[in-house]
Amino acid sequence: MILDRYFARRFMQSFLVIGGIFLALLILIDLVEQARRFDSENLSFGKLLHLTLLNTPAAISEMLPLLVILSTIALFIGLARSSELVVTRAIGRSGIRALLAPITLALIIGALAVVLLNPISAATSEEFRRLSDTYKNRGNSALSITSEGLWLRQGSENGQSVIHARGTTNADALELTGVTIVSFSMEGKPTQQITADSAQLSNGSWILHNAKIWPLAEDVNPETSAKTHEQIELPTTLTRQRILDTLGQQHSVSVYDLPQLIRDLREAGFSTKQYEVWLQVQLARPLFLAAMVMIGAAFTMRHVRFGGTGIAVLSAVLLGFAIYFVRNFAQILGENGQLPILVAAWAPPFAAILLSLGLLLHAEDG
């Protein structure tokens, strides 16, 4: 137990040091990127730093596998240089048994990443997206999906319009059904209301079918002044790509909110596969981080007198990147429906654990 605590403390020290170094580099690089991105908006340094800090939790969450595998490599190379691994084996404890503490810590880090870091990064990512849209587009558009349907907000020189749709006929939100549009002036007063059976997004405008328009001026009777149209066009600043980009931001949704969002999307007629896969990938993170520990240890749990330390470190990092790439590739296949959701999310961590376990057994007993 004392030895396990020692290994755990050494692993956590390596993790914090490497994490701090990467955090500093990440902030500097992202600050430069935000300055380049918002160069035409002439934002102050404070606003750029604010955007950078909002973007940091999501980046750290994405980098966790790399931090874990580098921490493992640093731990076992340090133990090998000081011959502590030799002493550990001499007292009858196998190298695989020495992995218990780092793997346990990796599982804890993964669990904390799911229950704490994920909600934080989701909230900061959403705020980052909102502020970026405000600085870039002056806050002229927004999108929200609830159990009541789809809500859109768009802006123009004449004011804002709020669009509500009960559902959509495709997963791209290009054709809405049961549409209600309320337009507001620059002063925030309602100017007109439009209902339509359906609306199609096409070339900078919504094409409304079977629409009825009510003027909402103070001195006008809305019903007597209402007009019906078989088809009308309503200009919009929204585009297909902007709607899809907003719908595709599963990173900005907390794991606690994902189940309800999936139900809302399904009721509104949207595809939910990417959100379902993302939820399972998040739940599998502790196992994936444990696999990173085992991969790092498989190449570095040997005495330095054998040489080849640089090759071993490079091999561990490259294999870690390969497993990370396979996981992302499986996630894409799951989102496209080419793999079952559970297979896409859970197969890569289990495969990585079995592969690294085979390497460890070969190194220890082979």
Question: Of 59, 122, 61, 110, which is closest to residue 254 (Cα–Cα)?
Answer: 122
pLDDT at 153 over 60: yes
Residue 181 is predicted with a pLDDT of 87
| Residue found under tokens 């340094």 | 45
pLDDT at 93 over 80: no
Q: Which amino acid is at 164?
A: H
pLDDT at 125 over 50: yes
20 vs 220, higher pLDDT: 20
Mean predicted confidence (pLDDT) in 299-318: 77
Q: Are 273 and 334 in contact (CB under 8 A)?
A: yes
Question: Of 181, 190, 199, 193, which is closest to residue 227 (Cα–Cα)?
Answer: 193
Residue 170 is predicted with a pLDDT of 59
pLDDT at 80 over 60: yes
Residue 215 is predicted with a pLDDT of 85
Q: What percent of the chain has pLDDT over 90?
A: 28
Residue 173 is predicted with a pLDDT of 56
Rounded Cα–Cα distance for residues 15 and 69 (Å): 9
Q: Which amino acid is at 321?
A: F
pLDDT at 146 over 90: no
Residue 251 is predicted with a pLDDT of 73
The structure's pTM equals 0.76
Q: How confident is the model at residue 270 (pLDDT cuts 50, 70, 90)?
A: low
CA separation, residue 113 to residues 7, 13, 144, 250, 339 (Å): 21, 18, 26, 16, 25
Residue 325 is predicted with a pLDDT of 93
Mind listing the pLDDT tens digit for each residue in 230-251?
A: 888 888 877 766 666 555 566 7
Q: Which amino acid is at 117?
A: L
User: Residues with Cβ < 8 Å from 220, sequence gap 6 or more?
Assistant: none
Residue 325: count other Cβ atoms within 10 Å of its Cβ. 11
Mean pLDDT of the chain: 82
Q: Which domains does the chain have, with CATH numbers?
A: 2-136+258-365 (no CATH), 141-236 (2.60.450.10)
pLDDT at 98 over 90: no
65 vs 300, higher pLDDT: 65
Residue 284 is predicted with a pLDDT of 94
Rounded Cα–Cα distance for residues 3 and 8 (Å): 9
Mean predicted confidence (pLDDT) in 209-213: 89
pLDDT at 97 over 80: no
Residue 235: count other Cβ atoms within 10 Å of its Cβ. 11
Residue 366 is predicted with a pLDDT of 47
Residue 92 is predicted with a pLDDT of 66
Mean predicted confidence (pLDDT) in 167-173: 61
pLDDT at 172 over 60: no
